[in-house]
Amino acid sequence: MSAANPRLDLTVTHPKVRFWQTLFFRRKIVPWLFVLPILLINVSVVLGPAISSVYYSMTEWSGVGEARFIGLDNFRRLLLEDRSFRVAFRNNLLWLGIFLTLPMAMALTAASLLAPIKRGALFYRLTLFLPYVLPSVITASIWRNLMHPDRGVGAQLSEWGISGFDRAFLGDPKTVLPAIAFVDNWHWWGFLMVLFLASMQNISQDLYEAARLDGANRWQEFRDVTIPGIRPTLVFMVLMTAIWSFLTFDYVWILTQGGPAGSSEVLASLVVKNAIQRFEAGYASAIGLTMSVFVGIIISIFVLLRRRGWEI
Amino acid sequence: MSSNDTFDALSRAMARRASRRTAIKGGAALASAGVISGAALSSSSGVAAQDGANITFWFDTTGGAETAQCLIDNIVNPFNAQGGTQVEATMQPNGWTATQTALAGGAGPDIVVTPGPTYVMELAKAGQLLNLDEAAAAHGWDQTVLPWALDLGRVDGSIYSIPHEVESLVLWYNATLFDEHGWEVPNTMDELITLSQAVQDAGLIPFAHGNQEWRPANEWFVGEWLNQLAGPDLVYAALTGEAQWTDPAFVDAISKLNDMQQNGWFYGGLDRYYTGASADTASSLAYGDSAMKIEGTWFFSDAMMFFEESGQEWGWAPFPSTDGTDIFDLGIGSTYSINARTAAPEASAEFLNYWFSPEAQGIAVSVCGMGPAPVSIPEELLEGIDARQAAMINAVADASAAGNYGYTTWTFFPPKTITFLIENIERVWAGDLSVEDFLAEMQSVFDPELAAGDVPPLPARS
């Protein structure tokens, strides 16, 4: 053995790994970098104002200049003194009741009738969906004229001897809210129908055939096959309808601005009036925050029922 | 006339509206171009401004861009053509909302236009408007702007705005219909009530009123009945806290308004009133389905258009008061101020001085169909306008100079009180609220606003 047996240097030299080449960076940091731009926008235009509105709801603020902190006084006034708030809240509940029943029933019925149709299916779907893509201002203007007591559909029916429809539905406190809901529903239910129809077409035909073999009639097919088959879509739309019912604004504002005599006032129109017309942006923030609380309660109920095992 | 005929006529009239206005503009603009480029521009250069400064001015186009374009073409562009300060005019839909938002964000145009003195107070208190005392002294605005109007622009004693578009509410009527039936134009409220009953008995509608498109129209009637029946002195006293809104004279005034509404005199009934659009009611008046209409002096262009279409004649008269005295409730359509953050305060003031010159305002009235600013406009600058409109402008100016004026709600009432009466008079009409309770609640809304100094400056009664 030679004394000059050189010792092998077995040290492995790794190429230098930079931080952005590490697994940690790729898995934990990179996704956040992709999200960061929209996150920053969201924080600045949604989260920031949302948090600031919590503060402003506890201030006396005109919308310009300094805000004066007054604690919970806006909420005390809202709940104990403001008649308009109570009327608007009641109207939002009525609105919720209308939109959780009428358009749902219409959309489910139409979707189940259209589902088996193959020839001309696209035509029917487009026709019923079309009102949804019209701007609310256009839809409201169309129906404002159609419901006009002198030149609308009612006046024409009256000329043909069918009386009772030549009324100013939007000018009568008893009929104004259902009349606005009718207009809103005209544009809304077609959208619901298309969603339900798309969901129904994912239901296996085997289930319907099995039901028929068991002697199920059309109603039983609908109740025991169709409804369970579209349950996720149905529940999602019930949830969204409930949320949107508390935020409804455009048709009310365009058609009546809450009148006559406050009979079509909703919470969102009350926010606008207080913030813009009365220079009470602080109080308007309190109403807005209350609307968010109502929506939060609805979402919480759904989450709670799911946790308790309800199939929704 | 059938409803279908009315609708057809309405459609035709709407289609012709633009062309008629364009024709007026074309002729009058040529006639006045020399005036504006000479007299107004030389008068506006009395105080040196920043050389070559650029200032911004947003024109509200919510009601249509036609008038704004007319003002730019005939007033702003000649100003720019002289060199020096340049005005960058921008068409701005929802102008007030955009301005309010921009100011809150530390930006906004150099020339700030608001819907009225109430809004100026809020902006001035927030430090967003420039104090115009020095500019007013330098340009001598106390000599050119009517005193009551200049006072209206004051906040805590300092000038922050100049009112624009002096308005008043008057009684418009279908003169052809009056002639056919032998009706006399009423001077007193009693005569008006008697006439309204006669109109209804003839199978016609006394008043062509509707608030579908503009719900604040409610306040026109509340304000007019308060001023004309209870009198402007009592309204002034209530606005300054020396009288109460629950005064029996106010109760009587609002009760009479309620009676007339319950009689179906406002467009045939409450439901019709709530669904009556402005074109519907104007057409109803022009075609003789309705006899009268209580609306602002701004209705002139619509009166011209709809009556030209119907081939009938219109007339106007001061709104009947209790004793027959001619009283005009004064109002302001907008105000002009300077942004506190402007980089060119002197150039902005120079432009305001030009804008409120008699020459520029003569163009605004005669060419663009605007209401006049509260400045004296020589008769020669108003040549060519309809004699009835000229008489109306002169009558309102004379009344304001002589002190025979009342207080429109949208100019002299504080914001919460205005919103209250617009919303809650409908509850009175619906029978949900008594007149006494309505006025008592109005007082409770008004008191804190008075205490907080939110009532706009009131010109003292002579």
Domain count, chain A: 1
What are B361's two structure tokens?
A: 């305002």
What three-state secondary structure class fits A276?
helix
Please answer whether residues A188 and A103 qualify as being in contact, where contact means their C-beta atoms are separated by less than 8 angstroms: yes
Residue at B415: amino acid letter: P
pLDDT digits (tens, 9 = 90+) for A143-155: 999 999 888 899 8
Exposed, middle or buried, A257 (CB in 10 Å: 0-12/13-18/19+)? buried
Residues B84 and B19 in one domain: yes
pLDDT digits (tens, 9 = 90+) for B367-378: 888 888 888 888
Say which CATH number the domain at B185 has. Answer: 3.40.190.10
What are A69's two structure tokens?
A: 């902190």
Q: Nearest CA to B283 among B9, B2, B1?
A: B9
Please answer whether residues B367 and B148 qualify as being in contact, where contact means their C-beta atoms are separated by less than 8 angstroms: no
β-partners of residue B407 are B330
Residues B152 and B248 in one domain: no
With an 8 Å Cβ cutoff, is A273 touching chain B?
yes
Name the least confident of A1-5, B265-269, B279-283, B343-347.
A1-5
β-partners of residue B123 are none
DSSP state for residue B129 in the 8-state scheme: B
Q: Among A66, A168, A273, select the one facing B272 at the smallest CB separation.
A: A168
Residues B195 and B132 in one domain: no
Q: Is the pLDDT of residue A126 over 60?
A: yes
pLDDT digits (tens, 9 = 90+) for A163-222: 888 889 999 999 999 999 999 999 999 999 999 999 998 899 999 999 999 999 989 999
Residues B162 and B175 in one domain: no
Q: Is residue A59 part of a domain?
A: no
Contacts (Cβ under 8 Å, ≥6 apart) of A13: none
Q: CA-CA distance, B159 to B121, in Å (whole number)?
A: 11
Q: Is residue B459 part of a domain?
A: no
Question: Residue B63 — pLDDT band, cuts 50, 70, 90?
Answer: low
Q: Is residue B208 part of a domain?
A: yes
Q: Among A144, A172, A273, select the one facing B271 at the smallest CB separation.
A: A172
Q: Is residue A12 part of a domain?
A: no
Q: Nearest CA to A63 among A72, A77, A73, A52?
A: A52
What are A48's two structure tokens?
A: 């920031």
What are A303's two structure tokens?
A: 């989450």
Domain count, chain B: 2
Show residues of chain A in contact with B123, CB under 8 Å.
Answer: 64
Tell how strand B405-407 and strand B328-338 pair up. Answer: parallel
Show residues of chain A in contact with B215, CB under 8 Å.
Answer: 256-257, 259
ipTM over 0.95: no
Domain's final residue, options B382, B402, B422? B402
Show residues of chain A in contact with B427, CB under 8 Å.
Answer: 261-262
Residues B17 and B136 in one domain: yes
Residues B200 and B303 in one domain: yes
Q: Is the pLDDT of residue B33 over 80?
A: no
Q: Is residue B458 part of a domain?
A: no
pLDDT digits (tens, 9 = 90+) for B110-155: 999 998 888 898 899 889 999 999 999 999 999 889 888 888 999 9
Residues B285 and B345 in one domain: no
Q: Is the pLDDT of residue B1 over 70?
A: no
> What domain range includes position B384?
3-166+332-402
Say which CATH number the domain at A132 has. Answer: 1.10.3720.10
Angle at B339 between CA B334 and CA B345, to 5 degrees: 115
With an 8 Å Cβ cutoff, is B182 touching chain A?
no
With an 8 Å Cβ cutoff, is B127 touching chain A?
yes
> What domain range includes position A136?
84-307
Start-end of H helices in B145-210: 147-152, 175-181, 189-201
Residues B445 and B373 in one domain: no
β-partners of residue B331 are B167
- Per-residue burial over A57-86, b if 16 or more Cβ lie within 10 Å, else e, is bbbbbbbbeebeebeeebbeebeeebebbe
Residues B172 and B93 in one domain: no
Residue whose structure tokens are 């919480």: A300
Residues B114 and B203 in one domain: no
What three-state secondary structure class fits A185?
helix
Q: In chain B, what percentage of residues exceed pLDDT 90?
A: 62
Residue at A74: amino acid letter: N
Question: Residue B413 — pLDDT band, cuts 50, 70, 90?
Answer: very high
With an 8 Å Cβ cutoff, is B418 touching chain A?
yes
Q: Is residue A64 part of a domain?
A: no
Q: CA-CA distance, B280 to B3, in Å (whole number)?
A: 10
Q: Is residue B444 part of a domain?
A: yes
Neighbours of A37 (CB within 10 A): 9
Q: Is the pLDDT of residue A306 over 60?
A: yes
Residues B151 and B283 in one domain: no
Q: CA-CA distance, B102 to A120, in Å (whole number)?
A: 52
Residues B443 and B363 in one domain: no
Best residue of A56, A61, A73, A148 to probe chain B, by most B CBs closer than 10 Å: A148
